[in-house]
Structure 1
Amino acid sequence: MASEGRAGVALITGGGTGVGAAAAGMLAKRGYHVAVNYSRSAAEAKATVAALKETGADALAIQGSVADDADCRRMVSEVVERWGRLDILINSAGTTQFTALANLQAQNSEDFHRVFDVNVVGTYQMVRAASEHLTRSNKGAVVNISSIAGPTGNGSSLAYIASKGALNSMTLALARLLAPKVRVNAVLPGMISSRWMKDGLGEEAFAGVARGFAEASALGDISSPEEIAAGAIFLACDATKMTGQLMTIDGGYTLGRAVKLSK
């Protein structure tokens, strides 16, 4: 199916669940055809695609690991073969290992490589595979889903923290290198109410961490996947003069609450 008459074509890694799935729905409603990449969540990705098609968009679920360069190139090729173009790439695929940060023995080099292969190398490989087609678009955009773990040095594991710091720096470099044809930005979420977090921490631990995060945040709440996705869509579609920006969406966690002074 060609993309004529549609707003464009988007590819979302990790698009079957969470932020990626929410972003896919928003792009479909804006008139985009959407390719949803997944690694293991086949049922969720297929359900997402079915929901996208109900909006009138064409949609495609593509299995593949962003850590595998051949998979990255194949995914882009499948998208271009189906629709003839690629305008937006949202890198939402990510991984971590939930560990106690104070325990420096909790992770080894293999753990770091596994996290970096997805969060950093995978993003690079996807951008590299897509760059030629994004450059041909008159509105090429990349949005990387990062985290405040990078600038704050706090998160689910040391490997995750380091990977998001690297992703933030790479976002700036890619924005400079791909300009002026392609814009590259990142969203830095704080804590998200997602299945990924609940599964990783466990329901009880998640509730406690979420409560603490909200209490420390200026807005007193954590974010939903849809709220983070809305930021990603703004950067991908609307922020036509923004590139190389790391946009924080954390409910004011890094800002903090005002100090209450007693009289």
Structure 2
Amino acid sequence: MAITIDLSGRVALVTGSATGLGASLALKLAQAGAHVILNYSRSAKEAEATADECRALGAQVQVVQADVGEDADCRKLADAASGLGRLDVLVNNAGITKQVPNHADLEGLSKDDFLRLYGVNVVGPFMIVRACEKLLRASHESTGVSASVLNVSSIAGVTGIGSSVAYAASKGAFNTMTLSLARALAPAIRVNAICPGFIGTRWFKDYMGDEKYSDFEDTVRNATPLRLASSPDDIADAGFFFLTDSAAHITGETLMVDAGTHLGFAPLTAR
């Protein structure tokens, strides 16, 4: 039996949705009929391109420039939803990192690096949830269905691997905050998180070039138990589930979507 997801009439806000995973989640929400509020910090051109794709799917779209690390900007995003009279879905996707892949290089990170990453990756999502809380609760009161918050975290927050110690630590804090908010905001608001591993975004391709990226993707694929290198759409498929009524009985969940990376390398002979 085919399952059709219909989010017509609902309003969704996706932070950091100009490109990559945020854009993929926004497009899935648009395809399901939701009104989508897109957010960007600096990528105005890319945000407008994503907005056009959402409109081509028949969705109503707003684009709002805001830095989720600033409380005033978080409240500006909430005001955009307030102007529509409701907010049913919030995706905390915006995030930043500092590249210090050698975790033994303790001098590679400063106090300011930690504060900047925590400011966007942890404090930012807290502030946007706080700014949107009344709207999300109102959604539950009017529909009887819990509003949904999806936090886009990382396996770095579970395994301690990743682009830097500061990034992994911030995502670990984000995962813990997911649990705290799920308890505090129930039953009106469900709060869940996904923890992606590698995501083949434009950033990698621009940074490495096509040939090096292709080799890197092969390395990633061969290092995962499922022998897969995930795209933004692959990760968005899992995240989108939490935003639908199919997940109505799920809150406080932290789901790793990493092709099995957290399990460690699985030799081909084991298959």
Q: 2:227 aligns with which of 191, 195, 220?
A: 220
Contact 2:195 2:254 in 1 (8 A): yes
Q: 2:243 aligns with which of 211, 221, 236?
A: 236
The TM-score normalised by the length of structure 2 is 0.89
Q: 1:8 aligns with which of 10, 24, 42?
A: 10
Give 1:134's aligned residue.
136
Give 2:4's aligned residue.
none
Deviation (angstroms), 1:12: 0.3
Give 1:25's aligned residue.
27
Moved more, 205-214 or 177-186: 205-214
Give 1:50's aligned residue.
52
The TM-score normalised by the length of structure 1 is 0.92
Q: 1:211 aligns with which of 215, 218, 221?
A: 218
Shift of the 202–169 alpha-carbon distance from structure 1 to 2, 3 Å rule, reads farther
**Structure 1 residue identity aligned to 2:10:** G
Aligned-residue CA RMSD (Å) = 1.9
Count matched residues: 257
Deviation (angstroms), 1:40: 0.4
Give 1:188's aligned residue.
195
Give 1:153's aligned residue.
160
Contact 1:98 1:201 in 2 (8 A): no
In structure 2, the gaps of 5 or more residues are 1-6, 141-145
* Structure 1 residues 141-197: Cα deviation after superposition (integer angstroms, max 9, x where no partner): 000000000111100011101000000000000000000110000010000000234
Shift of the 205–173 alpha-carbon distance from structure 1 to 2, 3 Å rule, reads farther
Equivalents in 1 of 2:132, 2:54: separation in Å?
22
Contact 2:223 2:266 in 1 (8 A): no
Q: 1:112 aligns with which of 106, 111, 114?
A: 114
Shift of the 132–252 alpha-carbon distance from structure 1 to 2, 3 Å rule, reads same
What secondary structure, in the 3-state scheme, does the structure 1 residue paired with 2:218 have?
Answer: helix
Equivalents in 1 of 2:164, 2:216: separation in Å?
14
**Structure 1 residue identity aligned to 2:26:** A
In structure 1, the gaps of 5 or more residues are none
Equivalents in 1 of 2:207, 2:47: separation in Å?
20
* Structure 1 residues 73-106: Cα deviation after superposition (integer angstroms, max 9, x where no partner): 011111221x210000001101001113221111
Shift of the 111–203 alpha-carbon distance from structure 1 to 2, 3 Å rule, reads farther
* Structure 1 residues 216-255: Cα deviation after superposition (integer angstroms, max 9, x where no partner): 2111112100111111110111311110000111011112
Give 1:179's aligned residue.
186
Q: 1:254 aligns with which of 215, 239, 262?
A: 262
Shift of the 200–79 alpha-carbon distance from structure 1 to 2, 3 Å rule, reads farther
Moved more, 161-170 or 226-235: 226-235
